[in-house]
Chain A
Amino acid sequence: MIRKSIPLGLSVCLLIVASAWAQPGGERGPSARASMERRFNESTPAIGEPLPDVSAFDEEGNEFKLSSLKGHYSVIVFGCLT
């Protein structure tokens, strides 16, 4: 069911991460998760702050500025093929 409720590639990411955390004796665990969350919160803009002025590309390879995300609500989700 998860395959249909979450896009395949992202569900793969989630399953992989969930599994890594579940590894007994593995490197990850609750503390690793808390550490990642803390690092994420510290290294990303705080609530109410603008996105950093960073450029990347749109699907056609044209320049795309994060700062251009204005005028409407936007949702940004980091994903991957793997």
Chain B
Amino acid sequence: METIERDYSPKGVKFYYVYKALAHPETNGYITPFTLDERLMHVKEAKRTLGTRFNWICDTMSNDIKHSLGDAPNCEFVIDPEGKVVRKRVWSRPDELRKDLEELVGPVEKPTTVAELNMQTPPRPKQAAIGVVPRIELPGRLQAVKVEPIIEDKKTPFYVKLRAEADSALISGGEGKLYLGFFLDPLYHVHWNNQAEPMRFELTLPKDVTASPSSGTGPKVDEPADSDPREFLIDVNGKQSRKPIELTVHYFACDDAETFCIPVTQTYLVYLESDRDGGSRMGAGRGGPPALAGGPGGRGPAGAPGGPREMMRRLLSFDRDGDGKVSIDEAPPQMREFMFARLDTNEDGFVDRAEIEARFSRPGPPFGPPGERPRPDQPDETNDSTLDNTKPADIAARYLKYAQSIVAKYDANADGALSPDEWAKMSNPPANADTNGDKRITVEELVDWYVKQ
């Protein structure tokens, strides 16, 4: 599409992308904005990440353009100089669009190639760990329901945003399951501070509506910070009422730059009716929620939660010191236990981008929990069948390698062990590994600590 813009802008053609309601919230971490300002922030983010030269039209909060032009997620139109539609397509097709413009405007002598664009995808900002809090099992396919944030204080954005979904039984019959997901908005670069009180919410129910539970508290999490959504599933019976449920949520908003960490209380009205512009979260409701890897959500579409690109992004997000690779101390427990050895194919004790991409570019499931092996007729090309996550000797051997790499990485004075000031620089300082209390963590102590974890 960008090559077409390069070729036809000089001929006077104007190119516009239309930003509209998100078709698949949560994909790549983006969630539905609540205000026009946030939509405009999304436009800037889209321009940044796409590296596009297109102009952008930002749809209204009531989605007027989307509704008046077909409600399709990726359609395209060509408009002539009189303002009339001369081509339209329900799905954008750059190859067809180029032919259209060749007919309407004229051919290009030397079409721009993609390589000539030299487009770069900018790195995503670093964020707190993800994949730390398990996603909840969903009862099946759910639909977005209308959520109205009560904006009382324009200076305090909704750092955490509610997404509510319901099953068809609740929407049509008034009795069923209500999903409440509280998602950090990446626009604000905040995280859950797990050293503060967990988030909590309570429902104020209309007369004749019951809900169980009618309040909830986020889980206690060992990681000091993370970015995972806090999710709840509520049984609701509201057959006699069309009035909204009032939801109040309390949380600490803490920015990644650690410049503020403030208590926030915000309120929503949740309507038990389908939201036609709510989009759908990919992977949710198809056998379970999106999973980090090998979970019930399975391997979804490329950019979707559970999909290869999303999983790669998630795995690389654990690289907290920004050295381009994930070390064992940066990996969360489930990655350490089930994935690390399979990803670390060059056995250097680190998982880098090339290893992750190699694992996800091959067909078939990328990982599985212990005991979940490829069938005999599906040999695993990486030959990791020699690894057995269940044998203590194998576990110790694997962690010996990792402990050696960690000590080598952080052992600034090269004395073969970690001192307190050295292990303090680790993402998860293993102070408890110093079992003999001599203020030194040896490779052997680190191995024991990893195994016990």
Chain A interface residues toward B at CB < 8 A: 3-20, 23, 27, 36-37, 39-41, 43-52, 54-61, 64, 66-67, 69-82
Contacts and interface: CB of A to CB of B under 8 A. Distances in A.
B23 A82 contact: yes
A43 B76 CA distance: 14
B410 to A, nearest CB: 36
Contacts of A4: 114-115, 117, 119
A8 B50 contact: yes
A66 B66 CA distance: 12
A13 B13 contact: no
Contacts of A44: 69-70, 75, 77, 85, 88
B301 interface: yes
Given A59-B56, A66-B57, A81-B46, 18 more contacts: A4-B114, A5-B94, A9-B46, A13-B23, A14-B74, A44-B88, A45-B85, A46-B85, A47-B86, A56-B59, A58-B57, A59-B44, A59-B58, A64-B57, A69-B79, A75-B13, A77-B92, A80-B22
B73 A48 contact: no
A16 B303 contact: yes
Interface of B: 1-2, 4, 8, 12-28, 30, 36-37, 40, 42-47, 49-52, 54-60, 64-66, 68-88, 90-92, 94, 97, 101, 104-105, 114-115, 117, 119, 121, 141, 279, 282, 286, 300-304, 309
Given A57-B60, A59-B40, A75 B78 contact: yes
A10 B74 contact: yes
Contact of B74 (A13, A37, A71): A13
A45 B19 CA distance: 20
Contact of B76 (A12, A66, A70, A78): A78
A77 B94 CA distance: 10
Contacts of A12: 24, 27-28, 302-304, 309
Contacts of B300: 19
Contacts of A17: 73-74, 91
A41 B42 CA distance: 29
Contacts of B114: 4-5
A40 B90 contact: yes
Nearest to B79: A74
A47 B87 contact: yes
Where chain A touches its partner, the secondary structure class is mixed
B40 A57 contact: yes
B74 A48 contact: no
Given A16-B27, A69-B14, A79 B36 contact: no
A49 to B, nearest CB: 6
A76 to B, nearest CB: 5
B1 A10 contact: yes
A41 B121 CA distance: 35
B24 A16 contact: yes
Contacts of A8: 49-50, 121
Point out which of A37, A69, A76 has the most chain B C-beta atoms below 10 A from its C-beta.
A76
Contact of A57 (B42, B58, B286): B58
Given A44-B70, A70-B82, A61 B40 contact: yes
B303 A61 contact: no
A78 B70 CA distance: 10
Contacts of B46: 9, 79-81
A74 to B, nearest CB: 4
A55 B101 CA distance: 26
Contacts of B36: 57, 61
Nearest to A73: B13
A39 B36 CA distance: 28
B42 A73 contact: no
Given A9-B49, A59-B43, A73 B105 contact: yes
Interface centre among B15, B17, B30, B141 (most CB of A within 10 A): B17
Nearest to B21: A80
A17 B280 CA distance: 11
Given A6-B1, A12-B303, A52-B69, A79 B19 contact: yes
